[in-house]
Amino acid sequence: MRGRSRPGRLRILVAAAATVARLAAAPAAAQDAPPPIEEQVVVDNDTVRVALLTFAPGSASGEHVGLDPELGIVLEGELTLVTAAGREQLGPGAVRWLPALVPHDARNEGRTPVRLWVILVKR
């Protein structure tokens, strides 16, 4: 009888350990998530999309590829733009053109919010 109960206890211990591991990992994953990027769209039609973006400190777009060319104009803060050409720090007044299909990541690695206009030229 003692031999039959041991596998049952082992299954319970394994299940309990798995539950503890999931619960311990969940708060860490939630804390690692960057803050969202706020977007206020002011024009969106067949030819252009104009949006005011606000990056909270620590936020990032994540590497992505735009299907349309875009123009970015930094209003406040310092934006880090990462492309295949490298990392570039863009401060207030900086303007950058990105052709369509260029992989890039926009990040706020500073301590103050970054605000910028993004103009997507639709085809």
Span 40-77, pLDDT tens digits: 999 999 999 999 999 999 999 999 999 999 999 999 99
Pick the CATH number of 37-121 from 2.40.50.140, 2.60.120.10, 2.60.40.10, 1.20.140.10: 2.60.120.10
Confidence of residue 106 (pLDDT cuts 50, 70, 90): very high
Least confident stretch, 5-14, 40-49, 106-115: 5-14
- Edge-first strand order for the sheet with 48-55 is 37-44, 48-55, 114-121, 70-76, 95-98
Convert the pLDDT of each residue in 86-104 to its tens digit. 999 999 999 999 999 999 9
Q: How far is CA 90 from CA 47, 55, 102, in A?
A: 26, 13, 18
Q: Cα angle vertex 90, ends 88, 92, to 5°?
A: 175
For residue 5, is pLDDT > 80?
no
CA–CA gap between residue 55 and residue 117 (Å, rounded):
11
